[in-house]
Amino acid sequence: MLRYRHVLVAFDASPEATLALAHAVAMAQVYRAKVTLVAVVPPPPMLAWQAPGGMRGLHDAEQQELEKALRAAADTVPDDLSVTTRLLDGDPARELLGVARDGDFDVIVMGSRGRGRMTAALLGSVSNRVMHDADVPVIVIHRPSDGPDLAA
């Protein structure tokens, strides 16, 4: 029988990641599973040296912001669930896949920014790479579209 004991949630503080966390929490409650929230600070963009404080300053600011968001997200997980957090540095897809491989996870839950096919094909998306390279099932949560209300 299918049973999730440990759920890995990719978290980047986006609305999609917050929605993915809500889905992961619902799953964890059904299966009494542990939840691990992982956030990854990506390398600074090529022109980051032009930013105030340079690349290091930009990286440190992003790390502090993500750490704060990660703690706030963990605080939303109900007290009856076990939750841990990890803040890592590097390529987000590579780091998430590494954590998934090294840990005892049954499923990965992550949000999708919903970029168009061309953008995803040119840039490669984190969710796409994780979905194709992970050794466990990956659930990608899409935010409901804010399209026109057809019932109006």
Domain ranges of the chain: 6-142
Which DSSP string do the residues of 106-131 spell out, in sequence order? SEEEEEE----HHHHHHH--HHHHHH
The single residue listed with the structure tokens 């590494």 is 98
pLDDT tens-place string over residues 91-100: 999 999 999 9
d(CA 11, CA 91): 14
d(CA 130, CA 108): 9
pLDDT tens-place string over residues 35-63: 999 999 988 766 655 656 666 777 788 89
Length of the chain: 152
CATH 3.40.640.10 fits 6-142, yes or no: no
pLDDT tens-place string over residues 92-126: 999 999 999 999 999 999 998 755 554 444 445 88
> Is 11 within 8 Å of 36 (Cβ atoms)?
no
